[in-house]
Structure 1
C-alpha cells in the first residue's frame, strides 16, 4: 500500500491556473450555473410563467382600449426630461419603487456574497489531507490478526481497476443523477428538502458526488453557508475541467470507508483481503453503503448494520436499472466474509498502547507494517475475565476501584497484560505507567540479597522489636514470635526480620540486586526500603520475579517478535539478548523454596492451585493503599496489583486476598488450557476468521429423552416446549430484556435438547451448542460447576464487555 502523499487526481486545468485562466473558469462556471438555473426555472415554473404572461398581456390590451376611448387631454407646459422619471415615481406608484428595492437589494447582496466566494476560491486539490498515521496490523503470538491501527491507503484506482458494480452502486445510493447534472443537482436539492421537511429532520442530503469530491480534496468539513457556497462553485469548476469518470475515480480514492480505510482499494483490502478490482457485487454494495456513515457502519464494528445498508444499496441499484431484481436477490443470498477480525478486544488496547513506542524505534515511521506480537489471545481473555470477576464481586465492598495484571513467559515474553478495569473509561496503563509502593513484595529482593551474602532459609533470626534511627517497624499482627528460620519469616512476611536483614546486608546491596533484576525506578536508600517504601511499576516487579524463575539477570521482557513491511525481508526479527547474566544457582534455589513456602503455609495460601507447583509473594502498602501478589508456576510469572487511582485506602485489603485470588483464578484456568493444548492454531493474517461456536453432536433421533421444536423462552437458561420446561446445563439464566432478545433470536428456529435431568439438558441450534452461544453473547452466566466450554465462553464475554457484562 502506498502511504505517501497523493498526487492531485485532477488534470492540470484543475490546479493553480494563472489569473486569466481563472477568470475564464469563473465565467464558464457562472454561465453553467445560469444555464442550470434557467433550465430548472423553465421546467419547474413553466406552467405558472405561461399563465402569468397570458394574464399580463390581457391586462395591457384592456388598458390600451380604455386609453383610446378617453378624450384627448389639453396640452400641458413642457416638463424638463430630467424631472420626468422622478415625477413618475413620486406621483405615480411609490409602492412599485419600494417593491423594486425589496427585491433588488437582497439580490445585490446575494450577488456580492457569491462574487466574494468566487474570488476567494482555492485551487482544486489544495486541501487534500496529508497521509495520516501509517497502518499497523498486529498479530497475536500464533499469527492471528487481532488489531489494526492507523490509516490504510490502497492503490489509486484507474478506469481499468474500477469494478462496474462499485461505480454503479456509488452512483445509485449517493447521486442518481450524477451523469445528468453540472455538479449541482437542483432537482436533488429540492427532493431532499421536501423529504427532510416531511420527515421532521435531516434524512437525506442534497450534495452530489462532485460536491463531496471537491469538499474532500479542497475544503474542510465545516458546516457553514460560506463553505457550502464555495463547494457549489468548486463543483461547477470541477465539472468544467474534468470528465465524469475522473471525478468518480477521484471521489472513490478520497472517500473514507471506516476502520481507518481511505479510498475504495484500501477498504477492499481492509475488509475483504482483496484489491478493489476483485470485489463481488455484494461486497461492492457493502462498501458503497459505508460512505454515508463509515464509523457507525464499519463491518468490523457493525457487520449487521453494514449488511442492512448493503440491502438498501442493492435496491437502489435495481431502481436505477444497474442490476435486475433477480441479480439483487442472488447477491443478498451470497455470503460476505470478512478477512479481518472485529475491532481489537477492548482490554488488548493497553497492550497496543504499550508497544507503540517500540514500533517507532524498531521500524521507523514510513510504510505500513505487520507486527507479530507476543500476546496470547486465550491467556489475555482469561486475565481480563479473572480481573473483572473479582472486581465485580468484591470491588465495591472492599473499596477497590482498579486492578492491573501482567503475565510473562519463562523467557520474558509478555503473554497478557491488563492495564485497568475498562480501557474505554481510562486509557492509563496501570501495569506499566503507574508507580506504587510494593510493600512486603519488595522483601523478595531483600531475602535474595541475604541468600547471596551467605544466609539460608534455615538461618535463624529473632522476631523482636527493632529500632533503626527514628524508624520502628511493626508486624501487621503486632506480635513477636521470637527465634524463627528465614523461610518462616518470609512466608509469614515478618517485618522486623526483614528490617534486620536490611541492616545486615546493607541497603545499597539490596538496591544493586534490584537493579540487576530489572528494577529501573529510582529507589530511596533508606532503611524502610526493605518493606517497599520505594515506588515501582507492576511490570518491573513481575520482571524481577521472572528473573528468579529464569535464572537470568535481568530477564529480557519483550512484546514484539517480528515486524514485516512491504518487502519480503522482515524489518525486524527479535534476537535472544546477550546482555544477561546467570543468577547464582544456590541463592536462586533458596529463593524459589522460600516463594513456595509463602503459598503453601504463609500469606499467599489463597493462590494455591491443586496439582500445580506455585510460588509467590504478597505485598500490602501502608494504610492499605496498594495490594500486590506476584506468583509463578514452572511456565508463567503473573503479577497482580489492586488499588485506587486517587491513592485512597481500600477496606483492609491485603495482597493475600483479592490479588492472590485473581492469580489463583487465572492460573487454574491457564494451566488447564496449556495442558490440554487448546491454544489457537497459527493461521495467516489473510485467512484469519472468527472462531466458530462449539459444535455438539445432536442426539440420536427418536431417543426417549429428546425434545425438539420451536421453544418459548422463560429466561435465558430455561426453555419451554409445549409446556415442558427444559433447563440448559451449566447456565444461570437472566430475565428481562436479555430473555426477550433470546426469544427474538429463536423465533421460528428449531432447537434440539437431550437430557433434561436435575443437572440440565444439552441443547443445539443448527448444530451449535445453544448454552455456549448464549453465554458467549453475554446473555447468561455460567454456573461454577459448568462444563469448561461454558466457563471459557463466560471469560470471553467478560473480556469483550458484551451483554450483561457491558458497562
Structure 2
C-alpha cells in the first residue's frame, strides 16, 4: 500500500509555527533588552540564593564580636637566646582612650585621605576604591595601594588573623558589615584610632604619640598626624623609630593625599614638608635588638595577637653575636671610607638555617631599620644554589661536565671573578669555584623558570623575572 508524502513538509511546519505564535494566549520569545533584563534578574536571584549558605558557612565560627567594647589587656613577650638567657622583653603599650571629639581633626583627615577616602559614603566595602586599587596595582605591576576600607581594617585587626585566605577575606567582609550596622561612622573611627597598631608595641594613637613624640595624642600637629597616618601602611617600614628618612617620605605622600582630598591647601602641605618632627630619643638596647625585633614580628604573624605572656626560644648564640658585632665595627672602621659606606649588616647561620647572630646596622640606637632582614640586595653568587639544586633535581649529577668559556646572552656577557676560564669542568668544581659562566649556561640548559620555581619552593618571596 503506497503512502503519500507531503509535497513540502517544511512549509507545513512553518505554517503551524506561525499559527502558534499568532495565538493571543501565547507569549512571544524574549528578545533584545527584555532578554538581557530577564537574565540579569535571574542572575541576581541565584546570587542571593547562593549567598545565604556561603554566609552561614563562613559565619558559623566567627570570634566573639562583643569584645570590641571591652578594654584590651596587654601582653609581655620575652625573647631568649639558645642557652635560655633573656635577650629582650616587649610589652604592649596602651595610652588613654580618646573619644571621637578628642581625636585631632587633622589626624582623622590624614587617615581618611590616605586609607579610605570614601569612608563616610560606603557601607563597609568600597567597590569603587577596590576597583581603583586593583587597576593601579595591575598597571604598575606591583602592590602600591590596598583596597580595604577602615571598617575592614578594624575587623581584621580586632578579630581576625593576618592569613591571606578566602575564608579570612569573607569573614572580614562580614565583620565590616556588622560594624557598619551596629555603630556609627564616628564610633567606628573611635575604635579604629584606639586599637590600631603603630609598631614599637604601641596600640592606639595616644600610645603612639607618647612613644614617637613624647606627648599625648590630643596635642598632635599636622606634621605629626601625617607621620602617624603614614605609619599605618607598614609599621615595620615607616615607623620614625625604625627609619626616620623613610617615615618623612611617607609623611609627604600623606600630605599630598590630604591636598587631593581637599582637606588642606597645597601651600600648607609644602610648608609642612619643610618642618622637622621632634622624635623621642629612646635608648632601646644593644644590637641584639635587631634580631629580637625580627623574631617578635615573625612570631606575631604565626601566632597572632595573644593576651598572655609569651616566651620565645631562639637559636641566637650570645658569644657569636658579640663577635659579629665587633667584626662588623672593625670592617667599618677599616673600609667604610674606601667604599663610601655608611652602614653594614651581617647574618651568621647554622647548617640547619638557624640564626646564630644578626647585626642589622652599625648602631641600633641610631637606626632600628634591619638591613639584614628588611633591606633587599642582589643575592650574588648565593643564588647559584637554586640553579644547581634545580639541575640535580632534573637528573644532572655533580660529576657531569660543562665548559667554562665566554658566553653572551642578548648582549649580556657574564664573566668569572678571576677573569679566567678553565675549560671543561665538573659541576662539582664549578660550584666550588663559583664559576659564573657555568652557572649561567646551566640555568639556560634546565630553563630559568625551573630555577625560579626552586627559589620559590625554598622560601624566596621577592619578585624574580625570567628575562
Structure-2-length-normalised TM-score? 0.53
Q: CA deviation at 1:207?
A: 0.9
Q: Secondary structure at the match of 1:149?
A: strand
- SS state of the match for residue 182, structure 1? coil
In the other structure, the counterpart of 2:261 is: 320
Cα distance, 1:292 vs. partner?
Answer: 1.2
Q: Distance in 2 between matches of 1:121 and 1:733?
A: 55
User: Distance between the aligned counterparts of 2:278 and 2:17, measured in 1?
Assistant: 92
Q: 1:149 aligns with which of 90, 109, 113?
A: 90
Find the residue that maps to 1:131 and give its secondary structure.
coil
- What's the CA shift for 1:118? 5.2
Task: Quote how far apart the aligned CAs of 1:349 are.
Answer: 8.4
* CA distance in structure 2 between the aligned counterparts of 1:225 and 1:74, rounded to whole angstroms: 55
Is the Cα–Cα contact under 8 Å of residues 100 and 189 in structure 2 kept in the other structure?
A: no
Question: What is the deviation of 1:119?
Answer: 6.0
Structure 2 partner of 1:179: 120
Match of 1:427 in 2: 316
Select the structure with the greater relative contact order (CA < 8 A; seq sep ≥ 6): 2
- Call closer, same or farther: CA 1:304–1:148 in 2, change over 3 Å: farther
Pairing partner for 2:238 from 294, 297, 303: 297
Kept after mapping to 1: 8 A contact 2:96/2:206: yes
Please give the residue correspondences for 1:136-285 in structure 2 after superposition, counting only pairs within 5 Å: 149-285=90-226
Taking a change above 3 Å as real, the CA distance of residues 225 and 341 of structure 1, as seen in their structure-2 partners, is same
Distance 2:93 2:219 in 1: 18
Equivalent-residue separation in structure 2 for 1:284 and 1:99 (angstroms) = 47
On the 8 A contact 1:301/1:342 being kept in 2, the answer is no
Alignment length (residue pairs): 298
Q: Residues 216 and 255 of structure 1 are in contact (CA less than 8 Å); yes or no, is this contact kept in structure 2? A: yes
Whole-angstrom CA distance in 1 between matches of 2:40 and 2:163: 36
Q: CA RMSD in A?
A: 4.9
Matches within 5 A, 1:533-612: none
1:318-467 equivalences under 5 Å are: 318-341=259-282, 343-347=284-288, 426-430=315-319
Question: Kindly tell me: are residues 428 and 159 of structure 1, through their superposed partners in 2, closer, same or farther at Cα, counting changes over 3 Å?
Answer: same
More helix by share: 2
Aligned mates of 1:799, 1:292 — CA distance in 2? 23
Match of 1:23 in 2: none
Name the CA shift for 1:135/1:280 in 2 (closer, same or farther; >3 Å).
Answer: farther
Structure 2 residue runs of 5 or longer lacking an equivalent are 1-14, 31-37, 79-87, 294-306, 308-313, 327-331, 346-360, 373-467
**Structure number with higher strand proportion:** 1
1:326 offset after TM fit, Å?
A: 1.8
Aligned counterparts of 2:142 and 2:364: Cα–Cα separation in 1 = 39
Secondary structure at the aligned position of 1:335 is classed as coil
CA–CA distance in structure 2, aligned partners of residues 102 and 181 of structure 1: 24
Q: Is the 8 A contact 2:284 2:365 kept in 1?
A: no
How much has 1:124 moved relative to structure 2? 2.8
Contact 2:285 2:365 in 1 (8 A): no
Whether the aligned pair in 2 keeps the contact of 1:183 and 1:235 (CA below 8 Å) is yes
Alignment partners' CA distance in 1, 2:20 and 2:76: 90
**C-alpha distance in 1, partners of 2:18/2:336?**
104
CA–CA distance in structure 1, aligned partners of residues 176 and 292 of structure 2? 45
Cα pair distance change 1:123/1:731, threshold 3 Å: closer
Q: Give the number of the structure whose alpha-carbon radius of gyration is greater.
A: 1
For residues 270 and 259 of structure 2, the distance between their equivalents in structure 1, rounded to whole angstroms, comes to: 10
Change (3 A) 1:427 1:108: same
Pair 1:731–1:197, CA change in 2 (3 A):
closer
Q: Distance in 2 between matches of 1:338 and 1:148?
A: 22
Q: Which residue does the alignment assign to 1:131? A: 73
Question: For residue 229 of structure 2, what is the aligned residue in structure 1?
Answer: 288
**SS at 2:233 equivalent:** coil
**Deviation of 1:231 (Å):** 1.9
Deviations 1:482-512 (A, max 9, x none): xxxxxxxxxxxxxxxxxxxxxxxxxxxxxxx
| 1:742-764 Cα deviation digits (max 9, x unpaired) | xxxxxxxxxxxxxxxxxxxxxxx
Distance in 2 (CA, whole Å) between partners of 1:237 and 1:799 is 43
How far residue 351 of structure 1 moved from its aligned partner, in angstroms, is 12
Aligned to 2:375: none
3-state SS of paired residue (2:102): coil
CA distance in 2, matches of 1:231, 1:119: 14
Question: Contact (CA 8 Å) 2:152, 2:172: kept in 1 or not?
Answer: yes
Preserved contact between residue 134 and residue 152 of structure 1 (Cα < 8 Å)? no
Counterpart Cα distance in 2 of 1:176 and 1:98: 35
Does the CA-based 8 Å contact 2:76-2:89 persist in structure 1?
A: no
For 1:461-476, list aligned pairs within 5 A: none
- Between the aligned partners of 1:122 and 1:106, the Cα distance in structure 2 is 26
Q: How does 1:36-47 map to 2 (within 5 A)?
A: none
Within a 5 Å distance, the mapping from 1:492-503 to structure 2 comes to none
CA deviation after TM superposition for structure 1 residue 337, in Å: 1.7
How far the C-alpha of 1:216 sits from its partner, in A, is 2.0
CA contact (8 A) 1:290 1:298 kept: yes
CA contact (8 A) 1:270 1:340 kept: no
8 Å Cα contact 1:135-1:148 kept in structure 2: yes
Deviations 1:715-743 (A, max 9, x none): x9xxxxxxxxxxxxx986644xx43x6xx
Q: Secondary structure at the match of 1:299?
A: coil
Deviations 1:41-86 (A, max 9, x none): xxxxxxxxxxxxxxxxxxxxxxxxxxxxx9996799x9xx9xx99x
Aligned equivalents of 2:344, 2:171: Cα separation in 1: 50
Gaps of 5+ in 1: 1-69, 90-96, 137-146, 353-365, 367-424, 432-640, 643-661, 663-715, 717-729, 742-773, 780-795
Cα distance in 2, alignment partners of residues 75 and 177 from structure 1: 55
Report 1:2-151 matches (<5 A): 108-117=49-58, 122-126=63-67, 131-134=73-76, 149-151=90-92
In structure 1, distance between residues paired with 2:89 and 2:20 = 94
Task: Report the CA distance shift for 1:212/1:327 in structure 2 as closer, same or farther (over 3 A).
Answer: same
Q: Secondary structure at the match of 1:177?
A: coil
Q: Take 1:171 and 1:242, find their aligned partners in 2: how far apart are those partners?
A: 18
- Is residue 778–residue 798 contact of structure 1 (8 Å, CA) maintained in 2? no
